[in-house]
Amino acid sequence: MPRKPLFRCVSLIGIGLIGSSMARAMRRDPSIAGRIVAAARTDKTCATVLRLGIADAATTDVVAAVKDADMVFICTPVGACAEVARAIGPALAPGTIVSDVGSVKQSVIRDIARHLPEGVAFVPGHPIAGTEHSGPEAGFAELFQGRWTILTPLPGSDRGPVDKVAEFWRRCGSQVEVMDPAHHDMILAITSHLPHLISYTIVGTATDLGDDLKAEVFKFAAGGFRDFTRIAASDPVMWRDVFLNNRQAVLEMLQRFLEDLSQLQRWIRRGEGDKLEALFTRTRAIRRGVIEAKQA
Ligand code: NAP
């Protein structure tokens, strides 16, 4: 007899790159969800989801999407979380678990928790996996394979729902770590948010160059620029929301970065090659560490 799935009905509010990758991972492993319901803002996305066959139903009505769910993942840009939670809160049945995939955790907790009724568990989460593409066609079942998902449960929350959400991510191929939300936001500010900000800046600077120079930048992009263009092609709305919602941690990391950049500027101006070489030797070892951690 087939095993009872982990969840009877999983509702994905927002089904872009992340939501559709979760849907595909659930399709790949039927032990995760008996039924998948998706909600999006537009009819076009709902039609795409049904054509791809990655959910059993798709709707623009977020309330209808959570009505029968025992597990709800909010997978919209973080700026839309408050509006979604306010709408679905009254429709959630007692015993339902709500989670999210937002790249910022403190603001999402502030925006979602207050709209959830008594008897509904909230387990905030963030899969550290992604690409520069967006929308339901960009997703793939292997996105989370070997990557980390960070859960940031609220103090005093029940173990049961946290364990179930952790198990969901493990069955999607992910490793799971539990962390304090403020710590999450600080770590992500340096490992993800600042690198995106730097990429947006460099590509923006190149775009503002004179026409002749700009043509050469594209022609010789393989010199390093192209790696920044990939990151700077990431979704503008998602990243606008990340910077507005992780303001404090990003500004703190940016300040440190600017100080270090000024120091490099000074070393170059003064011809202090030994200092440059020592730094570049240290940073090379970091790359080896990332490869050894299988996160390259
Ligand atoms: P995405 O591809 O742009 O998809 C966003 C989805 O949310 C779309 O289905 C969109 O519907 C829907 N949506 C937007 N506003 C909505 C609203 N008010 N009500 C209902 N649905 C709404 O975004 P994504 O890359 O999957 O990112 C989703 C979340 O995952 C973000 O919070 C992001 O921080 C987080 N995350 C992203 C990455 C990454 O690399 N992309 C990695 C980890 C975590 P329509 O298509 O109809 O507009």
The residue among 160, 179, 198 that closes a domain is 179
Q: Would 20 be classed as within a structural domain? A: yes
Residue 164 sits in the same domain as residue 195:
no
Residue 39 sits in the same domain as residue 155:
yes
User: What CATH number did the domain enclosing 275 receive?
Assistant: 1.10.3660.10
Closest approach atom of ligand 1 to CA 19: 26
Atom 46, ligand 1: residue with shortest CA distance? 45
The residue among 145, 179, 213 that closes a domain is 179
Residue 128 sits in the same domain as residue 29:
yes
Q: Would 38 be classed as within a structural domain? A: yes
* CA 267 to ligand 1 centroid distance, Å: 42
Number of structural domains the chain divides into:
2
Q: How far apart are CA 231 and CA 193, in angstroms?
A: 11
* Ligand 1 pocket mutation, candidates 48, 75, 196, criterion most atoms within 8 A of CB: 75
Residue 168 sits in the same domain as residue 100:
yes
The residue among 128, 149, 179 that closes a domain is 179
Residue 164 sits in the same domain as residue 286:
no
Residue 111 sits in the same domain as residue 229:
no
Residue 16 sits in the same domain as residue 148:
yes
pLDDT at 289: 86
pLDDT at 290: 87
Domain that holds residue 265: 183-292
Atom 6, ligand 1: residue with shortest CA distance? 14
210: alpha, beta or left, given left = phi > 0 and alpha = psi -120 to 50? beta
Closest approach atom of ligand 1 to CA 126: 44
pLDDT at 112: 98
Residue 121 sits in the same domain as residue 187:
no
* CA 40 to ligand 1 centroid distance, Å: 9
Per-residue pLDDT of the chain in tens (296 residues, 90 and over written 9): 567 999 999 999 999 999 999 999 999 999 999 999 999 999 999 999 999 999 999 999 999 999 999 999 999 999 999 999 999 999 999 999 999 999 999 999 999 999 999 999 999 999 999 999 999 999 999 999 999 999 999 999 999 999 999 999 999 999 999 999 999 999 999 999 999 999 999 999 988 888 888 888 888 888 889 999 999 999 999 999 999 999 999 999 999 999 999 999 999 999 999 999 999 999 999 988 888 888 88
**15, 39 Cβ separation under 8 angstroms:** yes
User: What CATH number did the domain enclosing 60 receive?
Assistant: 3.40.50.720
pLDDT at 73: 98
* CA 215 to ligand 1 centroid distance, Å: 33
Q: What is the 3-state secondary structure (H, E, C) of the chain?
A: CCCCCCEEEEEEECCCHHHHHHHHHHHHCCCCEEEEEEECCCHHHHHHHHHHCCCCEEECCHHHHHCCCCEEEECCCHHHHHHHHHHHHHHCCCCCEEEECCCCCHHHHHHHHCCCCCCCEEECEEECCCCCCCCHHHCCHHHHCCCEEEECCCCCCCHHHHHHHHHHHHHCCCEEEECCHHHHHHHHHHHHHHHHHHHHHHHHHHHCCCHHHHHHHHHCHHHCHHHHHHHCCCCHHHHHHHHHHCHHHHHHHHHHHHHHHHHHHHHHHHCCHHHHHHHHHHHHHHHHHHHHCCCC
* CA 35 to ligand 1 centroid distance, Å: 21
* CA 276 to ligand 1 centroid distance, Å: 40
pLDDT at 2: 64
Binding-site residues, ligand 1, Cβ < 6 A: 13-19, 39-42, 45, 62, 75-78, 80, 83-84, 101-103, 126-127, 130, 134-135, 235, 238, 242
Q: Would 193 be classed as within a structural domain? A: yes
* CA 22 to ligand 1 centroid distance, Å: 12
